[in-house]
Amino acid sequence: MSEQPKKGVAIIIPAFNEEARILNVLQAAKASKLKTEIIVVDDGSKDRTSEVARTVEGVKVIKLKANRGKGGALVTGVQATKCGILAFVDADLGGLQGQHIDDIIRPLLNDQCDMCVGIFRGGKVWSDMAQRITPYLSGQRAMKRELFEAVPYMADLRMGVEWALTNTAEKRKAKVIRVLLRGVSNCAKEQKMGIVNGLKARGIMYMEITEAMVKTRRKRVTTRRPKRPRF
């Protein structure tokens, strides 16, 4: 458990091999009027993600030596701040503006909710469709620190973190609201990696989400998981 959280808003951006896209996201984060600090967690990237992030003044960059998955990256980012409100933003977004980030932060500052989830609209058709079907998997969300810290096994959940956050909020009867992020979309894995590797990575993502659903419903077992290939 962390120390008593201080006032403030930390924008935390987990990133894995996003050198071509992260700069736009960081420019949006810098444009946020409600932020206190910006933290990038480079999750063992093989490209220049960290180097690009460090070109943006005022951004704290944490470089992990090995890939820990999204859950591990988020935990690392949260441990690096004492802010009481945490805003998570993916590193591969297109069309993101500072106002979009403020739109998910403001309801927390106004004490309207415990978590605010941003939903894509009016960006790419497939991004909009995916979030109409599974809005609870959106990576763009802000929340009270204590809600994040209540999620079990977070460091182990990899790509299952969004489901775990939503599930924990439901169990705790936390108030969750959604806001539309118009004109924003993410970059498909197939577009980043090519069709074959993209489909493989997507399959791994769905498997990790399923594992998170199972893991958070059972007692912890201290077993070492085999490493999975990263693309």
pLDDT over 60 at 202, yes or no = no
Query: Which of 19-33, 119-133, 217-231 tops mean pLDDT?
Result: 19-33
Query: Which of 50-54, 67-71, 201-205 tops mean pLDDT?
Result: 50-54
Tokens of 63: 């470089």
pLDDT value for 197: 62
pLDDT value for 127: 67
pLDDT value for 93: 94
The phi and psi torsions of 178 (rounded to 5 degrees) equal -120, 145
pLDDT value for 160: 78
CATH number, residue 24: 3.90.550.10
Mean pLDDT of the chain: 84
Tally the domains of the chain.
1
Asked if residue 227 is part of any domain, the answer here is no
The position carrying tokens 């199972």 is 214
The amino acid at 43 = D
Q: If you average pLDDT over residues 162-191, what whole number do you get? A: 87
| pTM of the complete model | 0.81
Asked if residue 35 is part of any domain, the answer here is yes
H-only helix segments in 65-97: 69-79
Higher model confidence: residue 228 or residue 76? Answer: 76
Q: In whole angstroms, what is the distance from residue 105 CA to residue 41 CA?
A: 20
Asked if residue 157 is part of any domain, the answer here is yes
- Residues 136-160 have pLDDT tens digits of 678 899 999 999 999 988 888 876 7
pLDDT value for 224: 44
Asked if residue 222 is part of any domain, the answer here is no
Asked if residue 231 is part of any domain, the answer here is no
- Say if residues 174 and 114 touch (Cβ distance below 8 Å): yes
Q: If you average pLDDT over residues 195-220, what whole number do you get? A: 59
Q: Under 8 Å CB-to-CB from 153, ≥6 apart: which residues? A: 71, 164, 212, 215, 216, 220
Tokens of 194: 């090519």
pLDDT value for 7: 82
Q: In whole angstroms, what is the distance from residue 111 CA to residue 165 CA?
A: 19
Q: If you average pLDDT over residues 68-84, what whole number do you get? A: 96
pLDDT over 70 at 192, yes or no = no
pLDDT value for 182: 94
pLDDT over 80 at 215, yes or no = no
Tokens of 8: 């403030």
Asked if residue 69 is part of any domain, the answer here is yes
Residue among 13, 44, 10 at smallest CA distance from 140 = 13
Angle at 211 between CA 207 and CA 216, to 5 degrees: 155
pLDDT value for 137: 74
Asked if residue 55 is part of any domain, the answer here is yes
According to DSSP, the β-strands at 141-144 and 115-121 are: antiparallel
Range of the domain at 186: 6-215
* Least-confidence region, from 75-89, 95-109, 111-125, 200-214: 200-214
Map residue 59 onto helix, strand or coil.
strand
